Amino acid sequence: MTDQTIHEVVRSHYGAIARNSDSELTLTASCCGGTSATAGACCGISADSGTDGCGSSLYKVEMLEGLPIDVTGLSLGCGDPVTIATLHEGERVLDLGSGGGIDCFLAAKRVGILGHVIGVDMTPEMIAKANANKAKTGFRNVEFRLGQIEALPVSADSVDVIMSNCVINLSPDKQSVFKESFRVLKSGGRVAISDIVTEGEFSPDLRAQTDQWAACVTGAIDVQAYTDMMARVGFVDITVVDKVTADVVTPQQGMPRIYSARITARKP
């Protein structure tokens, strides 16, 4: 599978979710587009995994106050990077793979009118949804840019915080995602990620299952390999917090343990 094939499969998957979202709001049974093997899953997380469920249940209820169902119903993440990021007024924030924009709008509330939030997503239908949601919510300190997280349409040394929610596992070139993240962060800037990672690696056969890749399963890599990539480009203070105690997908043969983690780091 080439990187281009993976991008096409992932874009088509999330394009369909964005197009269908008007008629199927509240995607709790299919966020990340759980397919037959992950039915009832969220980015591979079992829907009954307690408070760390999926969709808008990832967030404290009070955080979502004032956001329309068009935003909360198109929540496809596997964690709450906004809270992990501990944002301050006036900060510039970048969200990798912003989808319908939920984390961008939550971040916009925290950084206020002096701050600014950029969401980048490669799926035109998601950017259109996010812009429609921006018009509905009235946030003026948020913008959405069409682009790939492996080649960010963002200037060097320009953001204080990078967040991402269940996206980097979908990239076929994670090393470039971290290299680009490091480039656009200001010195002293920080990273707050929620993502699916594994202990061990998928077999090549399982890796080749593109529907499972698009559903946030087989694109996930070993957590040590993930943090090694971050360290290689210069990130420091890399911390991984195991978020869920249960395995998120019942392991099949050749499948490693897979779970959602919170990962934080800093650019020196």
Name the site residues for ligand SAM (rule: CB under 6 A): 10, 14, 32, 75-77, 97-100, 102-103, 121-123, 126, 148-150, 165-167, 170-171, 216
C-alpha 10/C-alpha 27 separation (Å) is: 17
217/265 with CB nearer ligand SAM = 217
With respect to ligand SAM, which residue has the nearer C-beta, 144 or 202?
Answer: 144
Shortest distance (Å) from residue 23 CB to ligand SAM: 18
What's the closest the beta carbon of residue 58 comes to ligand SAM, in angstroms?
A: 8
Q: CA 1 to CA 211: how far, in whole Å?
A: 13
Which residue has the CB atom at the shortest distance from ligand SAM?
99
Q: Is the Cβ of residue 38 or residue 165 nearer to ligand SAM in the bound state?
A: 165
CB of 92 to ligand SAM, least distance (A): 18
Residues pairing with 119 in the sheet: 95, 144
Say if residues 216 and 166 touch (Cβ distance below 8 Å): yes
Asked if residue 80 lies in contact with residue 146, where contact means CB atoms within 8 angstroms, the answer is no
Residue 34 · residue 215 · CB < 8 Å:
yes
Closest CB 35 distance from ligand SAM, rounded Å: 13
The type of residue at 72 is T
- Please say which residue, 154 or 254, places its beta carbon nearer to ligand SAM: 154
Asked whether 233 and 182 are in contact (CB, 8 A), the reply is yes
